[in-house]
Amino acid sequence: MNLLNKFKALPKRDIGLTVLIIFIILLLILGCKTFIYGSYVSTNAVGISQIKLENNELIVAGNIADSASGFSGYKYRIDDEKLYLKLRYSLVNDLNPSGHFSIKIVDDDLKDVKKVFFQGGKTEDIKLLLSR
């Protein structure tokens, strides 16, 4: 018996239940992405209030202009004496209650960093934050 015949042999109630379960799982994934993980924001949406780079430590603080966004995380990479910082925001919720962020990065490779850039969601969306 091939797969199609097995599918046709299932009661309609089981097929409906399977479709409902798949739909609920997809909604949960979308909800986690929207409310918990978030997405990377444009450089124009964020204001930096403090940036300090000393030896192997970087401190960056600021806020987002949008009141409905909560800071959910960041990612950084160091390439050729340049640090690229990306900020992630989700909709405000209990896990991410504020648009304010304060980041402290400790990395031995920071000693060689000459420039710090804020990078948005797109690769070409880059803003220089600090040059030393």
Cβ atoms of residues 83 and 44 within 8 Å? no
pLDDT of 33-79, one tens digit each? 888 888 999 999 999 999 999 989 999 999 998 888 999 999 999 99
pLDDT of 107-129, one tens digit each? 999 999 999 999 998 989 999 99
Residue 26 pLDDT > 80, yes or no? yes
Confidence of residue 3 (pLDDT cuts 50, 70, 90): confident
pTM confidence score? 0.79
Question: What distance in Å separates the CA atoms of residue 68 and residue 38, rounded to the nearest whole number?
Answer: 12
Question: What distance in Å separates the CA atoms of residue 58 and residue 103, rounded to the nearest whole number?
Answer: 8
